[in-house]
Structure 1
Amino acid sequence: MRKPGDDPIEDRPTLLAHALEMSVRYGPGPWPADAHRLPDDPPPPDDDHPIMTSVVLDGIRTHHFGVSPDVDAVTEVMGLLGALTSDEPFRAGLVRLHELLAGVSALTVADGLVHRLRQGTLPAERVRWVGRHLAEHGTRREAVKTGLVLLGACGDERDRDLLLLLGTLEEFTLYAAVALDRTLPDGRRAVYDLARRVRGWGRIHAVERLRGCDDPEIRDWLLRDGFRNEIMDEYLAHIAATTGGLYSALNVPEVDDALLDGAGGILAALAAGGPAEDMADYGDAVPALGRFAFLAADRPATLGRLDSLLSILAFLRDPGDDRSWPAEELRRLRLRYEELAAEPRWGDLVRAHLADPRRTDFDRALWAAERLALPVLPLLTARLEVEPLDESTWHHAVRLAGPREIEGLCHLAERLLPLPDPAGGPADRFGLGAEFAPDRALEDVVNGLGTFPGTGLPLILAALRSRVTRVRRAALATLAAWPAAAVPDEALDRVRRAMAVEPHEETRVEMASFLGDR
């Protein structure tokens, strides 16, 4: 016999159906970025200005700004739940609940609902059924999230598979992880399973619920891979170091490569500082740093180890005012890392990577080259010949160029970059996506010309007619950085003409100010 809740809520695809399709297509996860575009996503904006997605907003609010509870919404939801659980659920009530929850941020009602439900005034099994209904039939993300909240308050082992499936979508990982942890006897293992299925904010939310775990398998995973995520490793580095027992793990007779590389990533993230606990909060920081340096000295050079080494060294050179370590220990560690970073093998490694302009990890080697102060400009120009729209390479090339090289680099940019069409006009565009790669590359070049008065004028004039606002602003900023005598009349005239058609008000004001000073 069908229940009223077995019928679709509305004529839209459910979010569970989307998760099932992604599971069939990609397996248990992690899923690619396209899989996390949900059926209820709003249409893209008319322009290319970035928008903050709800999963990012949830992550930022839970970690940085806090959440203000919506008491009125909790009361209204509880009233509907009371009506739906006092007798057989009726379709109109289920639709009304879904409509209400679709317009309410689940974060603002989650704690209030759990608190009220724990008072036991509503039958738990019927509340669970309503939660399952929202999770299975919901077509709007906030309603599905609140369904997961209800399962976290009144669910049990029967909901494991549903929570893991929906939780593999980053949008729902936070709510699924909390529900798994609260309702299952082996909740930590279930959260661990979920954490390995996600890589972004979902990984952060899930791993945070593994803090203090004593399961050896989970601890080992935290040290090798669990702290890594697509947002910032800094969010999870301290959890990995403390819960995983980093220093103790580094003191076993045989430290495998995965553990050594994980340790380097954790220590580098702690050294970076913020947005969570950092090196100052890690009690074993000094001995762990010493042990990592000892182990890295005898292992093959890799870009990952070099990244970690250089990040830690930057921290040791400027540890901040709140560092309570004894001065002698800090000095000893800094000298050890400087000695290690000065070994020729690192420079040889970076140059070998940069010698092949088509390497997929060229950018990573490029950052290391800059931090090692290697003279690699000829290798960068070779890269640009085969990858002329590589923004990172243009950025570094301009930074490495001196007065003798910058002119040639500008000529290279004029030859390789598709400059803005003189017949085109400016627009208030942000410049995201592959379509705007030429604009971003031009911006990287123009940004570096402020210290070279009179150089690269054709590029600057071209940038003033770019369709991307920040490229035009970069050109204006470069001209403003030049001495007045170095700015030719041609440039002043171009700024006047650009101001007359400038669509961005703040940029137009900056242009007027620039001209007023000349």
Structure 2
Amino acid sequence: MVPGPTIHDHIRDHLDPSGHGLLPGGAQLPDTPATGIRWASGERESRPVLGSFGAGPDAEQLTGLVAGALVDDAGYAALYDALTEGSADPGLVGDLPREPVHELGRRLVTGARHRGPVRFGLGLLDRSDTDLLLMIGRHEEFTAAAAGTIAATHDDAEAALVRLADAVDGWGRIAVVERFERGAGPAVREWLLRGGYRNSVVDSYLAHRAAVVGDLAAVLSGRVDPAMLAAACEIVRAMVDAAPAAGLDEYDDAPRALSRLLDRLEDVPGTLEHLATLARLDEYLSDGGWRARYAEQWTIALHEAVVRRVRDLLARPDWRDLVRAGLADPATFHQAYQSARAVDVDTFPALLAHVRAGGDDWPLLMAAATPERLPRILALAQAVDLPERDLDTVVTALRGFPGQGTPLVLSSLDSPVARNRTMAVRTLTGWGPAAWAAEIQAALRRAIAVEPDAGLREVMEQLLTP
């Protein structure tokens, strides 16, 4: 055994008092290697295709190791070492005395300094260990294992699973929510539809499950409060943007849910949340996938009816003022920006002002560049001290504007950051010598003289070769 804190104590000491997640430093477990590939906590358990934990003992070997661990410390050490070196399924343990095995599970969960033994130990716990399961499950490395034990050992597991899922927000939440199926109780359905689908990976992973398990179409058939309506809009948008998960096309109740959502939106004053949803639906309803959809849950008549209703809602005259007000507020800028095109609002003046005020959106600004707009963008870029990343963004985009922004390209060429220099060389290559200002050749010669990267230096030299 190695010295240092147990994983149990590490998690306990980093519990966020809010009841959600861990305090800073909590995510990195004591056994985290200093180098090598690091997976997001819980990612490999939630998506096994991304990687495995390594081969562990088979059923016969595992039963023997567990039996030995019940006898003495040497046996415990042998099991511990095997669990540290590879994964093992607690369900493979043969017929051994239940209570000693349960105590072994508690010993592993509370005393181990490596994640493999803790993960295995969680599978040996039972419903008497709910608080321990919920605590260890607060670290997303162990959420899926804790959820598996809760589901297997609790007569009514839903309440504990909701508590567990609500305490995490990444792959762990995804692993728990994917256990909920149609027929779940009202508390699960309500939690899912009011935000349980939200996660720090991508909401699309859970939006379809929230709609199905929460019976979104039925909920939207009656009156809903503003918070539920906003959440329903989020769920629908996440299902439209479904990849890599099931989405609106896989949602059998999509026509009914969208029709009921439009009923609700027609009854209330519009918000940016509503507009963003209508804008995405308009794109979805106009895309090229409808031949396949007509063979599934949609009919041509129903499709055309939903299109008309969406476009009637988008024609409301008050959207433009709502978008302009949203663009002026940093808190709502991005939502307003994403919806502006649907109601023909020119976003460039607001985007320029937003970036000038410190908004971290140079990629958006450069994507909006045209020959007419570029002088104003360049004036701003040259008036501020661009961070390396933003300088990269600007110089890369300038490749499409030969001869424009030469001072920024030269600044990038002189940067201590290799990527900046590389982007400058690529832009100069794209321009071609005919578009170069007089000072570029001299700047390239100076850069060649000090460039430490042989490959990049060779490319620079080729640029100066007639």
Global fold match (TM > 0.5): yes
Q: How well do the aligned residues superpose, as a CA RMSD in angstroms?
A: 3.0
Give the Cα separation in 2 of the matches to 1:345 and 1:311. Answer: 18
TM-superposition CA deviations, 1:239-266 (whole Å, max 9, x none): 11111111111001x1111221121111
1:417 match: secondary structure: coil
Structure 1 CA distance for aligned equivalents of residues 465 and 269 of structure 2? 57
- The equivalent residue for 1:138 is 112
Contact 2:236–2:277, Cα closer than 8 Å, also in 1:
yes
Change (3 A) 1:476 1:13: same
Q: Does residue 316 of structure 2 align to residue 331 of structure 1?
A: no
What corresponds to 1:411 in structure 2? Answer: 379
The one of 28, 39, 43 aligned to 1:53: 39
Match of 1:482 among 420, 423, 431: 431
Asked if 1:28 is matched to 2:31, the reply is: no
Partner of 1:259: 228
Cα distance per residue 1:367-403 (max 9 Å; x no partner): 334665532333233333331xx332x2222222321
Distance 1:100-1:283 versus aligned 2 partners, 3 A rule: same
Identify which of 79, 100, 117 aligns with 2:64: 79
Distance 1:361 1:468 in 2: 34
In 1: Cα distance, 2:433 partner to 2:455 partner: 22
- Alignment of 1:386 with 2:360, yes or no, is no
Shift of residue 323, structure 1, vs aligned partner: 2.6
2:5 to 10, 13, 32: 13
Which amino acid letter does the alignment assign opposite residue 209 of structure 2?
A: I
C-alpha separation in 2, matches of 1:462 and 1:453: 16
Which of 169, 178, 185 lines up with 1:215 in the alignment?
185
Choose which of 390, 409, 412 in structure 2 pairs with 1:460. 409
Q: CA deviation at 1:199?
A: 0.8
Distance 2:409 2:166 in 1: 47
Is the CA contact (8 Å cut-off) linking 2:54 and 2:85 kept in structure 1?
A: no
> Is structure 2 residue 426 aligned with structure 1 residue 441?
no
User: In the TM superposition, what whole-angstrom CA distance separates every residue of 1:10-37 from its partner, at most 9, and x where no partner exists?
Assistant: 42111111222233x5242244564323
Are the structure 2 counterparts of residues 16 and 467 from structure 1 closer, same or farther at C-alpha, using a change threshold of 3 Å? farther
Contact 1:417-1:442 at 8 Å conserved across structures: no
Q: Could you say if the C-alpha distance between residues 102 and 71 of structure 1 is closer, same or farther in structure 2, counting changes exceeding 3 Å?
A: closer
CA distance in 1, matches of 2:366, 2:100: 65
Which residue does 1:3 correspond to in 2?
none
Contact 1:480–1:514 (Cα < 8 Å) also in 2: no
2:266 corresponds to 1:317 = no
The residue that corresponds to 2:277 in the other structure is 308
Whether contact under 8 Å (2:205, 2:242) holds in the other structure is: no
Give, in angstroms, the shift of residue 476 of structure 1.
3.6
> How many Å apart are 1:222 and its aligned residue?
1.1
SS of 1:450's equivalent in the other structure is helix
**In 1, Cα distance between equivalents of 2:273 and 2:453:** 42
Cross-structure match for 1:239: 209
Take 2:212 and 2:138, find their aligned partners in 1: how far apart are those partners? 26
Amino acid at match of 1:101: L
Distance 2:305 2:462 in 1: 50
Partner of 2:313: 340
State the match for 2:82 in structure 1. Answer: 100
* Cα distance between partner residues in 2 of 1:55 and 1:235: 16
**Aligned partners of 1:59 and 1:508: how far apart in 2?**
45
TM-superposition CA deviations, 1:194-253 (whole Å, max 9, x none)? 11111111110110111224201111211121111111111111111111111111001x
Distance 1:97 1:489, change over 3 A: farther
Alignment CA distance shift 1:467-1:166 (3 Å): farther
Q: 1:177 aligns with which of 139, 147, 155?
A: 147
For each residue in 1:147-173, what CA deviation from the matched residue of structure 2 results, as whole angstroms up to 9, or x when unmatched? 213x2xxx3221111100000111111
Show CA shifts across 1:326-355 (max 9, x none): 334333323432332343433322221322
CA distance in 1, matches of 2:10, 2:397: 46
**Aligned counterpart, 1:40:** 31
Instruction: Tell me which amino acid in the other structure corresponds to 2:192.
Output: L
d(CA) in 2 for partners of 1:212, 1:517: 68
C-alpha deviation, 1:309, in angstroms: 2.5
Match of 1:427 in 2: none
Residue range with higher mean Cα deviation, 237-246 or 398-407: 398-407
Q: Secondary structure at the match of 2:293?
A: coil
CA gap of 1:256–1:21, structure 2 versus 1, over 3 A, is same
Indicate if the aligned counterparts of 1:391 and 1:440 stay in contact, CA closer than 8 A. Answer: no
Distance 1:11 1:462, change over 3 A: same
SS of residue in 2 equivalent to 1:214: coil
CA contact (8 A) 2:11 2:139 kept: yes
3-state DSSP of counterpart to 2:142: helix
Contact 2:122 2:133 in 1 (8 A): yes
Residue among 170, 191, 209 paired with 2:161: 191
For 1:222 and 1:311, locate their aligned partners in 2 and report how far apart those are by CA, in whole Å: 22
| CA distance in structure 2 between the partners assigned to 1:278 and 1:316 by the alignment | 14
* Cα pair distance change 1:364/1:495, threshold 3 Å: farther
